[in-house]
Amino acid sequence: MAEHTHPPLFLTNTLTRKKEEFIPLAPPHVGLYVCGPTVYSDVHLGNVRTFLSFDTLFRWLTYLGYKVRYVRNITDVGHLVGDVDEGEDKIAKRARLEQLEPMEVVQKYTNGFHDVMRTFNILPPSIEPTATAHLIEQIAMVERIIAKGFAYEANGSVYFDVPAYAQHHAYGELSGRRIDELVANTRDTEGQDEKRSPLDFALWKRADKNHLMHWPSPWGEGFPGWHLECSVMSTKYLGRTFDIHGGGMDLKFPHHECEIAQSVAADGEAPVRYWVHGNMLTVNGRKMAKSEGNGFTPEELITGDHKLLDRGYSPMTVRFFMLQSHYASTLDFSNEALQAAERGLQKLMAAWDTLERLKPAPPAGEAYDVAALEKACVAAMNDDINTPVMIAALFDGVRAINSANDGRAAFSADDLARLRTLFQAMVFDVLGLKREAEKQGDDLSHGLMNVVLGLRADAKAKKDFAASDLIRDRLAALGITVKDGKEGTTWERN
């Protein structure tokens, strides 16, 4: 689909706090960078929501006809425990706990992360760079920042000089923080003897002799600060200034603020044109956190093996549930909400099956306006990726499909083809939903069932009830229940 046939896309830019028209730097190419996981423990549901939100943005940009280079990194070093850059390296800490090599930990949780992404049908990025594979570039960037006078070496570590930077540039612009407030609110004391200001953050840290992951540098053995890798990898693959940078809201400060400062200090250019941030997950109205005992894993959500869950929910139910709220709104997990999403998803999938079986007929009254439905779907997505509004529009289409199935309405051959194309694009390509095997069978059984139920519908239409009942009974003997309802004919494996 060519981009010029669609009205413009608007995105909420955290930098300006406004919904802005998205104009790529070099269309039809779009550069998208999203902060990936730190691979020292299992990915949690809040992360899943973030990656799912940007998966939807990636899918939508692709639908609009853009050629998207989507970079999502793997943080396999340097993300430290405690207040951002102080304390023990999380990966090294976990390695000691589990008696594993650090890179073994990295591999284990990278594999786990990929499994979870596949489970929720979150597409892989175009490039998935790792921090450890970009140490040369990180060291080079630190040297550029030092050369510009915005960083200093102290005792084998290198710190970014925030006050020096703030004299020339707007530090705090993205997160809306002010330097004086930041100074007043800084509590951590570690490394303060080395830092000139408590606001300064580490670009490079000296490794003590117990530190497991370290590399040689012009300042001695050490490892990079966490913010550095994203500045390096985003600009290396997308250019010094690129289109969209995404991440969870919790990364706005200090991580993204520091990314901007590093790039501006090193190369004199703001790296990102549109900053997009996804919101958090809550459980029964409370923030999801391990300390609250309400932080279940993706696996627990699927198996239902957690005290807060009545039962398990399928990955596509969870995906559909997450898409029913806007990415920038908080989303509250509850059993009721998940069950409602499950029913909604079943209805949507049943309507798709019905749509595949429907035959064209001359409309009795006024024809259903498929073009208006398509326009509504596109408009919703172009309005800051408003998936809940797009889904509501699709359900208008679901009602029309079910009416046609009941014989209360009909579609012309053209409208039917257009409606199928639209549902295929929105449901499967853009929302990224897919058929789930469990009760409904694989794609082949689906195709076969559509043929069989189509023949049965024909028999019924010809009032050959003996034939239609025979088909139903033979299917029942195979353990397949066929239900004729207002919402169309559905089937289920017992």
Binding site residues, Zn ion, CB under 5 A: 35, 230
CA distance 369 to 372: 5
Torsion of CA 424, 429, 431, 432, to 10 degrees: 110
Q: CB of residue 204 vs Zn ion: minimum separation in angstroms?
A: 17
Q: CB of residue 235 vs Zn ion: minimum separation in angstroms?
A: 12
Nearer to Zn ion, 49 or 472 (CB): 49
Q: Tell me the backbone φ, ψ of residue 14, rounded to 5 degrees.
A: -60, -30
Nearer to Zn ion, 80 or 318 (CB): 80
Order of strands across the sheet that contains 272-278: 67-72, 29-34, 242-248, 272-278
Q: CB of residue 274 vs Zn ion: minimum separation in angstroms?
A: 16
**457, 463 in Cβ contact below 8 A?**
no
Nearer to Zn ion, 11 or 230 (CB): 230
**30, 265 in Cβ contact below 8 A?**
no
Q: CB of residue 186 vs Zn ion: minimum separation in angstroms?
A: 21
Residue 235's alpha-carbon distances to 39, 79, 147, 266, in angstroms, are: 22, 20, 19, 12
Within 10 A of 349 (CB to CB), how many other CB atoms are there?
20
CA distance 74 to 383: 30
Nearer to Zn ion, 205 or 277 (CB): 277
Q: Calculate the CA 401 to chain-centre distance.
A: 30
Q: CB of residue 245 vs Zn ion: minimum separation in angstroms?
A: 8
Q: Calculate the CA 411 to chain-centre distance.
A: 36
Strands (E), 8-155: 10-13, 18-21, 29-34, 67-72, 151-154
Nearer to Zn ion, 79 or 357 (CB): 79
**256, 174 in Cβ contact below 8 A?**
yes
Q: Peptide bond before 254: cis, by omega within 30 degrees of 0?
A: yes
Nearer to Zn ion, 68 or 230 (CB): 230
Tokens coding 70 = 């989507």
Nearer to Zn ion, 74 or 162 (CB): 74
Q: CB of residue 30 vs Zn ion: minimum separation in angstroms?
A: 19
Q: What is the DSSP letter of 218?
A: T
Helix (H) or strand (E) run with residue 417 in it: helix 413-423
Nearer to Zn ion, 35 or 80 (CB): 35
CA distance 11 to 276: 8
Nearer to Zn ion, 143 or 259 (CB): 259
Q: CB of residue 119 vs Zn ion: minimum separation in angstroms?
A: 23
Helix (H) or strand (E) run with residue 493 in it: strand 488-493
Cα distance between the two ends of the chain: 41
Amino acid 269 reads: E
- Give 418-464 as a DSSP string: HHHHHHIIIIIIIS-----HHHH--HHHHHHHHHHHHHHHHHHHTT-
Q: CB of residue 230 vs Zn ion: minimum separation in angstroms?
A: 3
Nearer to Zn ion, 35 or 288 (CB): 35
Nearer to Zn ion, 35 or 376 (CB): 35
Nearer to Zn ion, 128 or 221 (CB): 128
Q: Peptide bond before 362: cis, by omega within 30 degrees of 0?
A: no
CA distance 147 to 68: 34
Q: CB of residue 257 vs Zn ion: minimum separation in angstroms?
A: 11
Q: CB of residue 129 vs Zn ion: minimum separation in angstroms?
A: 11
Tokens coding 24 = 């790529």
DSSP 3-state of 393: helix
Q: CB of residue 231 vs Zn ion: minimum separation in angstroms?
A: 8
Nearer to Zn ion, 230 or 404 (CB): 230
Q: Calculate the CA 113 to chain-centre distance.
A: 13
Q: CB of residue 300 vs Zn ion: minimum separation in angstroms?
A: 27
Q: CB of residue 384 vs Zn ion: minimum separation in angstroms?
A: 22
**365, 409 in Cβ contact below 8 A?**
yes
